[in-house]
Amino acid sequence: MSYPRIRPRRLRRTPALRRLVAETRLDPAELILPMFVREGLTEPRPISSLPGVVQHSRDSLRKAAAEAVQAGVGGLMLFGVPAERDATGSGGIDPAGILNTAIRDVVAEVGDATVVMSDLCLDEFTSHGHCGLLTPAGDVENDATLRAYAEMALAQATAGVHVVGPSGMMDGQVAAVREALDVAGYTDVSILAYAAKYASAFYGPFREAVESALDGDRRTYQQDPANLRESLREVALDVAEGADMVMVKPALPYLDVLAAVRAAVDVPVAAYQVSGEYAMVEAAAANGWIDRERVMLETLTSIRRAGAQMILTYWAVEAADLLRRTG
């Protein structure tokens, strides 16, 4: 009987050895916390399909933003939930709208201690729930929507945001936003483009979080889950249009896309671990079927390993605390 000379298990023998040879590490600085702020709330309101996540009041948002900075997270991504909506989503453009107000609040609270980002999309503000303006026939009109995004970008930049995140998947949205920002002198505001964004059922709990009015789907603008090469085309277009960073969304069901995007571009690549990914783990853990903390860190590690340099995750603060405690 011959015994193996090459023994991979030798490097797995102790925690110190495993730590030494780990190929992927998680750092709080690369985690981005998505946050919801709801107009008119005086107390934070829980989101039942996202246990542990809330719709913030203006006050609780400021407090939570400061806590996230304390935990060392790399960024905050703000979403606004207005009390009233209209056909053109004017609340997203109004400087007094909830999202623009929240940007000013958070920037006043945290300054440059973390990166303040805002979702740049109309769906939270439109009465029909679509990410763009509609034609009389009810189709999402690309170029008219670009003009609205340009205005919204200016409102967010004026409010002091560091990074805007156009997420509506309109053709040409990055170019339109970049031009509007540059013409107004906001050449320093960065664009994190939701470049490869799929029409995913994993966004389910998010719809509750923003009280989405959508009746129908987003398949004429978000991508078909069947396609990978299409993402490379979307990403190349966004980079050519001036995206400073690109995002793949959702994350865990699209790790192949993430790896391909990472290999194709040299700008920072982010992944969004979306609401349904989070909710599935929370639900299984609440039933005692999986080890919540281990699964949390395993999903984040896998998303990093596949090529994401940054991860948007509802666990950002908790994971950051956990990483600091466990090293």
**Minimum distance of ligand PBG from residue 274's CB (angstroms):** 4
Q: Answer yes or no whether residue 234 interacts with ligand PBG by CB under 6 A.
A: no
Interaction residues for ligand PBG, span 149-178 (CB under 6 A):
167
Interacting residue with ligand PBG among 121, 150, 174, 316 (CB under 6 A)? 121
Q: Does 258 bind ligand PBG (CB under 6 A)?
A: no
Using the rule CB under 6 A, which residue among 41, 176, 270, 274 binds ligand PBG? 274
Q: Does 73 bind ligand PBG (CB under 6 A)?
A: no
Assess 206 for contact with ligand PBG (CB under 6 A).
yes
Number of residues that bind ligand PBG (CB under 6 A): 9
**What are the structure tokens assigned to 147, written together?**
């003009």
Closer to ligand PBG by Cβ: residue 186 or 203 = 203
36 binds ligand PBG (CB under 6 A): no
Looking at beta carbons only, is 186 or 221 nearer to ligand PBG? 221
Maximum C-alpha span of the chain: 79
Cβ neighbours of 6 (radius 10 Å)? 5
Residues marked as catalytic: 197, 249
DSSP 13-82: SSHHHHHHH-S----GGGEEEEEEEETT-SS-EE-TTSTT-EEEPHHHHHHHHHHHHHHT-SEEEEEEE-
Closest distance to ligand PBG from the beta carbon of 260 (Å): 21
* Phi, psi (deg, nearest 5) at residue 132: -140, -175
Question: Considering only 21-29, 117-125, 184-192, 287-295, which stretch makes contact with ligand PBG by CB under 6 A?
Answer: 117-125
Query: CB–CB of 18/31 below 8 Å?
Result: no
Q: Given candidates 36, 186, 203, 221, which one binds ligand PBG under the rule CB under 6 A? A: 203
The rounded distance, in Å, linking the Cα atoms of 167 and 10 is: 46
Rounded to a whole number of angstroms, the minimum distance from the CB of residue 121 to ligand PBG is 4
Nearer Cβ to ligand PBG, position 175 or 247?
A: 247
Do the bridges between strand 133-134 and strand 140-141 make them parallel or antiparallel, or are there none, so unpaired? antiparallel
Q: Which residues, in sequence order, are CB contacts of 2 under 8 Å at separation 6+?
A: none
- Answer yes or no: are the C-beta atoms of 211 and 197 closer than 8 Å: no
Interface residues toward ligand PBG, by CB under 6 A = 119, 121, 123, 167, 203, 206, 218, 274-275
